[in-house]
């Protein structure tokens, strides 16, 4: 674990605009929600959830993304990101999450996937600040009772 | 020798104890007279309080320090295992300059440390200090910025950078207390406290207990200025304000990642000007975009403390009559010059009206110079480092040019206000070198053969028709060829990253960083097998010396080789921080 204390990167997660053709599946099922649709506005004083997110809150939705390396192998949840995480905020003290993440709580144990593997998660969309009691991880947007599959 | 020490350490661990006795501040520490610091003794075993003997220059320590330390019978690690006894005395200060030798005896444990307590000039030599840090600034950044910005003919630069004409210069050793290698936390902290520390630590010596907020503290320059002067304090960075370099001005934590707590530490000091990113840690947890875990609303808390808040370039330019200014232009790190001004990539679509480093520094100088007792301003060009890690050289070099324009602004201010010391330095270096150019017009698909070195390198063909000091475009026929000495597995794409900041490697299912396949099909891309351990996501910091430059009163003290912590001594001396000036 000493490695985790070493200085590793200040790489900001600015790569939202980066295209990832090689990682995109040829034919993906059309998801209900995409990362680009999560927020309607960005400001240093806070982000605003989109009307679509507001309408879909409490309903089952599907969203595609990449699984960030989990906090613990046995964690109840994982973080879904728009692009594969270039660094691990759980592992490195100076790495930080991008603005647009979705926390996914699974309804049953599932094997975690390769972070390069595009997945589609489906679960009930939940909005509002919530602190995971076990890890203290705070999220603003979540899927509950979710399952995921490779796409 | 190292092997023997390790073997001893291993057997000690097997015997149930960990580590050895230690004294904080560490041996050879240099301490500003009258500055508060925490004294701590860590013992390897559990001892009774009466069995621990501590002397300072041969006298009982409580006599010299004026009070006894708190005794901790047993410190424990994260799993509750015992680490041994400790003594802690917070907020000690020593008024008398000189050498202090602390000797500790407990059972068969002994340890000694000698500190040098230093005085300063009685009267300040400067009114203002502008301390500019190019994060990760290395020699190749400067050379590349000069050639890209000014051009070169016949082997002579066609113009000079503003930083090229600062008057004095020193080589700075950046190593940390536990390693020759280093990060922006302990390096910036050495500048801002005068004490070296450990990787990830700010304003503290790293002790053995798991709590990151209980480590023995040393005074930061902001605290020293508040204690002894009425100077205004300014902090400008294009990273998150909680990032290591800006945080070092005020913070005390073993873990630079304690960003929510660091925001609170800014609020304790209340620097008159704070401009940068990182609003996510100012927003209460209920606000989308917040990264706090509590309901503290630091936007409101700073408003209540009399701050005007700006969130865009336009709001910053509008100015304020308030005495204090907080500019938060991004939830996270701000975008690079290239993305803000030419490409619109990164997060510019989300935060389209971010000011640049020059505009932020101008606003800070405007605000701070209203204070009749002068000011201390720390400016950080953060993306020089943040773009050197992923080996995105064009972004790093363009941000070095922006840094240089900031130096020009500071020199211009100093020309009008000659009682100003201007310092430009890096906090640590990167392992990059400029080795030639890439001859993109050479026929063939093998990019390696287009790398032009020695006589073939010629001169690059960047054009700056509008004369703003930045190339009008990076799409030239003969760009600079820059490479890193160290790297993870990645696809070398041999040119500017026009689609957005480079992400060389991503983590695989086993936690190892592998080449980002997103670049596999870039024409000419070549897979380079890394030479770094596979848990490194990007290129690492170099141990190479930093070049520090300075102009203004007192700048002549910067010369030869200096430890990073000794730079603080020069600042303390020119500001006369050993003298109460309030
Ligand atoms: Zn760095």
Q: Summarize pLDDT for B237-261 with one digit per residue, the tens.
A: 999 999 999 999 999 999 999 999 9
- Of the three residues B118, B146, B167, the one that is the final residue of a domain is B118
Under an 8 A CB cutoff, do B289 and A46 touch? yes
In chain B, helix, strand, coil percent, each to 5? 30, 25, 45
Q: Which residue has the higher pLDDT, A18 or B241?
A: B241
Average pLDDT score over residue span B142-150: 98
Residue A108 binned pLDDT confidence (cut-offs 50, 70, 90): confident
Find the A94 Cα to ligand 1 centroid distance in Å. 9
The pLDDT of residue A16 is 34
Find the B580 Cα to ligand 1 centroid distance in Å. 36
Under an 8 A CB cutoff, do A7 and B509 touch? no
In this predicted structure, the answer to whether residue B222 has a pLDDT above a threshold of 80 is yes
In this predicted structure, the answer to whether residue B91 has a pLDDT above a threshold of 50 is yes
The pLDDT of residue A7 is 33
The Cα A59–Cα A53 span in angstroms is 10
- Of the three residues B118, B139, B174, the one that is the final residue of a domain is B118
In terms of Cβ atoms closer than 10 Å to its own Cβ (0-12, 13-18, 19+), residue B282 is: buried
In this predicted structure, the answer to whether residue B391 has a pLDDT above a threshold of 50 is yes
For residue B337, give the nearest of B252, B401, B276 by alpha carbon: B401
Q: Does B41 touch chain A (CB under 8 A)?
A: no
Residue B219 binned pLDDT confidence (cut-offs 50, 70, 90): very high
Strand B52-56 to strand B98-106: parallel, antiparallel, or no bridges (unpaired)?
A: antiparallel
Range of the domain at B416: 128-207+219-432+551-574
Question: Per mean pLDDT, which range of A25-34, B291-300, B313-322, B422-431 is the poorest?
Answer: A25-34
> Which residues numbered 370-429 in B keep a CB inside 8 Å of some CB on A?
382, 385-386, 389-390
* Top-ranked range on mean pLDDT: pick from A89-93, B319-323, B430-434: B430-434
Nearest chain A Cα distance for residue B442, angstroms: 28
Which among A97, A114, A129 has CB closest to B508? A114
The pLDDT of residue A74 is 66
Instruction: Scan for tokens 């066609």, then name that residue.
Output: B158
Q: Does A73 touch chain B (CB under 8 A)?
A: no
Residue at B294 is within a domain: yes
Domain ranges in chain A are 27-150
Q: Which residue has the higher pLDDT, A92 or B10?
A: A92
Q: Is residue B499 located within the same domain as residue B396?
A: no
Q: Is residue B39 located within the same domain as residue B55?
A: yes
Average per-residue pLDDT in chain A?
Answer: 76
What is the CB-side half-sphere exposure of residue B289 using CA atoms within 13 A?
A: 24
Average pLDDT score over residue span B529-540: 95
For residue B490, give the nearest of B502, B499, B472 by alpha carbon: B502
The Cα B489–Cα A87 span in angstroms is 14
Helices (H), B297-356: 298-304, 313-318, 337-338
Q: Is residue B170 located within the same domain as residue B233?
A: yes
φ, ψ of residue B191 to 5 degrees: the values are -60, -40
CATH of domain A27-150: 2.40.50.870
* Residue of A20, A24, A86, A117 to mutate when probing chain B, most B C-beta within 10 A: A86
The pLDDT of residue B387 is 97
Average pLDDT score over residue span B549-556: 98
Find the B511 Cα to ligand 1 centroid distance in Å. 21
Cite the active site residues of B. 184
Residue at B6 is within a domain: no
DSSP for residue B545:
P
Q: Is B380 annotated as a binding residue?
A: yes
- Asked if residue A13 lies in contact with residue A97, where contact means CB atoms within 8 angstroms, the answer is yes
Which among B329, B506, B540 has CB closest to A116? B506
**The two three-digit tokens of residue A49, written as one number:** 């959830």
Residue B5 binned pLDDT confidence (cut-offs 50, 70, 90): very low
What is the CB-side half-sphere exposure of residue B205 using CA atoms within 13 A?
A: 24
DSSP for residue B339:
I
The pLDDT of residue B8 is 40
In chain B, which residue's Cα lies nearest the Cα of A38?
B288
The Cα B247–Cα B135 span in angstroms is 13
Please list, in sequence order, all residues whose beta carbon lies within 8 angstroms of the beta carbon of residue B156, skipping any fewer than 6 positions away. none
Residue at B154 is within a domain: yes
Q: Is B141 annotated as a binding residue?
A: no
Residue B132 binned pLDDT confidence (cut-offs 50, 70, 90): very high
Q: Is residue B101 located within the same domain as residue B172?
A: no
The Cα B255–Cα B265 span in angstroms is 14
In chain B, which residue's Cα lies nearest the Cα of A99?
B289
The pLDDT of residue B319 is 87
- Give the DSSP H/E element, type plus range, for residue A144: strand A138-150
Under an 8 A CB cutoff, do A7 and B183 touch? yes
Strand B30-32 to strand B109-118: parallel, antiparallel, or no bridges (unpaired)?
A: parallel
Residue at B2 is within a domain: no
> Which residues numbered 75-134 in A keep a CB inside 8 Å of some CB on B?
83-88, 91-94, 96-99, 112-116, 128-129, 131
Residues of B in contact with A3 (CB under 8 A): 533, 535
Average pLDDT score over residue span B39-61: 97
In this predicted structure, the answer to whether residue B406 has a pLDDT above a threshold of 50 is yes
The pLDDT of residue B333 is 96
Residue B376 binned pLDDT confidence (cut-offs 50, 70, 90): very high
* CATH number assigned to the domain comprising residue B27: 2.60.40.10
Question: Per mean pLDDT, which range of A80-94, B36-50, B292-306 is the poorest?
Answer: A80-94
| Sheet architecture: strand order including B82-92 | B22-24, B37-42, B82-92, B70-76
> Which residues numbered 229-248 in B keep a CB inside 8 Å of some CB on A?
239-240, 243-244
- Tallying the residues shown for chain B, one arrives at 582
Nearest chain A Cα distance for residue B505, angstroms: 6
For residue B426, give the nearest of B176, B131, B198, B130 by alpha carbon: B131
Q: Summarize pLDDT for B496-512 with one digit per residue, the tens.
A: 999 999 999 988 777 78
Average pLDDT score over residue span B322-334: 96
Q: Is residue B249 located within the same domain as residue B315?
A: yes
Q: Is residue B560 located within the same domain as residue B416?
A: yes
Q: Is residue B267 located within the same domain as residue B310?
A: yes
* CATH number assigned to the domain comprising residue B557: 3.40.720.10
Query: How many contacts (CB atoms, under 8 Å) link A and B?
Result: 192
The pLDDT of residue A73 is 64
ipTM for this prediction: 0.86
Q: Is residue B157 located within the same domain as residue B264?
A: yes
The pLDDT of residue B9 is 41
Average pLDDT score over residue span A42-54: 95
pTM > 0.90: yes or no: yes
The Cα B168–Cα B191 span in angstroms is 17
In terms of Cβ atoms closer than 10 Å to its own Cβ (0-12, 13-18, 19+), residue B371 is: middle
For residue B186, give the nearest of B203, B211, B170 by alpha carbon: B203
Under an 8 A CB cutoff, do B279 and A69 touch? no
Helices (H), chain A: 2-5, 51-56
Give the torsion through C-alpha atoms of B525, B528, B534, B538, to 10 deg. Answer: -60
Cross-strand partners of A124: A60, A144
φ, ψ of residue B19 to 5 degrees: the values are 75, -170
> Which residues numbered 262-301 in B keep a CB inside 8 Å of some CB on A?
277, 279-280, 283, 285-293, 299
In this predicted structure, the answer to whether residue B431 has a pLDDT above a threshold of 80 is yes
Q: Is residue B290 located within the same domain as residue B199?
A: yes
Residue A136 binned pLDDT confidence (cut-offs 50, 70, 90): confident
Q: Is residue B360 located within the same domain as residue B448?
A: no
Q: Summarize pLDDT for A74-101 with one digit per residue, the tens.
A: 677 889 999 887 776 666 666 788 878 8
| Sheet architecture: strand order including B52-56 | B30-32, B109-118, B98-106, B52-56, B59-60
Residue A31 binned pLDDT confidence (cut-offs 50, 70, 90): low
Q: Is residue B327 located within the same domain as residue B385?
A: yes
* Residue of A44, A97, A100, A129 to mutate when probing chain B, most B C-beta within 10 A: A44
The pLDDT of residue A133 is 87
Which among A11, A87, A93 has CB closest to B257? A93
Question: Per mean pLDDT, which range of A63-72, B231-240, B540-549 is the poorest?
Answer: A63-72
For residue B242, give the nearest of B233, B251, B234 by alpha carbon: B251
The pLDDT of residue A15 is 36
Residue at B320 is within a domain: yes
The Cα B374–Cα A111 span in angstroms is 60
Distance of CA B125 to the CA centre of its chain: 26
The Cα B550–Cα B191 span in angstroms is 14
The pLDDT of residue B102 is 98
Helices (H), B78-220: 139-150, 184-193
* DSSP assignment of B376-391: EEEEEETHHHHHHTTT
Inter-CA distances, B104 with B26, B52, B259, Å = 13, 7, 36
Q: Which residue has the higher pLDDT, B508 or B364?
A: B364
Average pLDDT score over residue span A28-35: 70
The pLDDT of residue A68 is 84
Q: Is residue B34 located within the same domain as residue B94?
A: yes
**Total structural domains within chain B:** 3
For residue A63, give the nearest of A77, A79, A48 by alpha carbon: A79
User: Checking phi first, is residue B58 left (phi over 0); if not, alpha (psi -120 to 50) or beta?
Assistant: left
Under an 8 A CB cutoff, do B506 and A86 touch? yes
Inter-CA distances, B575 with B348, B381, B413, Å = 40, 24, 18
User: Checking phi first, is residue B219 left (phi over 0); if not, alpha (psi -120 to 50) or beta?
Assistant: beta
Strand B37-42 to strand B82-92: parallel, antiparallel, or no bridges (unpaired)?
A: antiparallel
């Amino acid at each position: 674990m000493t490695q985790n204390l070493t200085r590793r990167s200040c790489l900001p997660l600015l790569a939202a605009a980066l295209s990832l053709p090689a990682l995109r599946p040829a034919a993906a099922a059309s998801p209900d929600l995409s990362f680009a649709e999560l927020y309607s506005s960005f400001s240093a004083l806070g982000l605003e959830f989109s009307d679509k997110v507001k309408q879909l809150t409490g309903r089952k939705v599907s969203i595609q993304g990449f699984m960030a390396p989990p906090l613990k192998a046995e964690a109840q949840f994982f973080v879904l990101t728009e692009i594969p995480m270039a660094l691990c905020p759980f592992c490195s003290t100076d790495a930080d999450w991008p603005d647009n993440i979705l926390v996914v709580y699974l309804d049953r144990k599932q094997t975690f996937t390769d972070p390069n593997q595009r997945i589609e998660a489906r679960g009930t969309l939940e909005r509002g600040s919530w602190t995971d009691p076990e890890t203290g991880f705070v999220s603003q947007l979540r899927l509950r009772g979710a399952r995921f599959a490779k796409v | 020798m190292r092997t023997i020490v390790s073997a001893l350490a291993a057997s000690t661990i097997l015997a149930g104890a960990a580590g050895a006795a230690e004294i904080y501040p560490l041996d050879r520490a240099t301490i500003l007279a009258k500055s508060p610091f925490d004294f701590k003794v860590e013992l390897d075993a559990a001892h009774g309080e009466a069995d621990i003997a501590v002397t300072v220059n041969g006298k009982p320590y409580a006599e010299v320090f004026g009070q006894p330390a708190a005794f901790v019978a047993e410190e424990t690690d994260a799993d509750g295992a015992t680490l041994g006894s400790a003594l802690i005395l917070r907020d000690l200060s020593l008024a008398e300059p000189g050498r202090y030798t602390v000797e500790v005896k407990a059972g068969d444990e002994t340890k000694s440390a000698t500190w040098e307590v230093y005085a300063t000039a009685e009267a300040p030599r400067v009114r203002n200090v502008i301390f500019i840090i190019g994060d990760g600034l290395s020699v190749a950044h400067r050379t590349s910025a000069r050639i890209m910005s000014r051009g070169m003919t016949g082997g002579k630069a066609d113009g000079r950078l503003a930083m090229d004409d600062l008057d004095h210069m020193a080589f700075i050793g950046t190593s940390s207390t536990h390693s020759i290698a280093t990060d922006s936390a302990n390096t910036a902290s050495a500048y801002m406290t005068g004490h070296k520390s450990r990787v990830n630590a700010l304003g503290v010596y790293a002790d053995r207990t798991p709590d990151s907020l209980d480590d023995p503290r040393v005074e930061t320059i902001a605290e020293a200025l508040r204690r002894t002067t009425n100077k205004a304090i300014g902090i400008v960075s294009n990273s998150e304000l909680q990032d290591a370099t800006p945080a070092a001005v005020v913070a005390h934590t073993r873990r630079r990642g304690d960003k929510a707590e660091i925001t609170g530490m800014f609020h304790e000091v209340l620097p008159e000007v704070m401009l940068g990113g990182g609003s996510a840690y100012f927003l209460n947890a209920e606000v989308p975009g917040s990264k706090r875990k509590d309901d503290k609303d630091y936007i409101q808390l700073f408003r209540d403390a009399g701050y005007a808040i700006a969130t865009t370039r336009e709001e910053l330019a509008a100015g304020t009559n308030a005495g204090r200014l907080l500019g938060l232009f991004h939830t996270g790190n701000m975008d690079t010059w290239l993305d803000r001004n030419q490409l619109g990539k990164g997060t510019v679509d989300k935060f389209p009206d971010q000011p640049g480093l020059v505009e932020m520094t101008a606003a800070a100088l405007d605000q701070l110079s209203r204070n009749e007792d002068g000011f201390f301003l720390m400016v950080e060009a953060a993306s020089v480092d943040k773009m050197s890690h992923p080996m995105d050289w064009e972004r790093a070099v363009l941000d070095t040019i922006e840094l240089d324009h900031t130096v020009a602004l500071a020199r211009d201010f100093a020309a009008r206000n000659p009682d100003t010391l201007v310092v430009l330095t890096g906090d640590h270096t990167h392992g990059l070198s400029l080795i030639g150019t890439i001859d993109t017009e050479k026929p063939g698909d093998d990019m390696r053969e287009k790398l032009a070195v020695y006589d073939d390198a010629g001169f690059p063909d960047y054009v700056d028709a509008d004369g703003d000091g930045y190339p009008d475009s990076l799409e030239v026929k003969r760009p600079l060829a820059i490479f890193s000495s160290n790297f993870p597995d990645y696809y070398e794409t041999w040119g500017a990253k026009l689609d957005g900041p480079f992400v060389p490697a991503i983590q695989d299912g086993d936690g190892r960083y592998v080449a980002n396949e997103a670049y596999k099909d870039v024409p000419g891309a070549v897979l380079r097998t890394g030479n770094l351990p596979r848990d490194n996501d990007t290129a690492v910091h170099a141990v190479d010396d930093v070049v520090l430059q300075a102009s203004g009163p007192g700048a002549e003290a910067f010369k030869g080789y200096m430890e990073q912590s000794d730079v603080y001594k020069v600042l303390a001396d020119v500001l006369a921080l050993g003298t109460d000036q309030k």
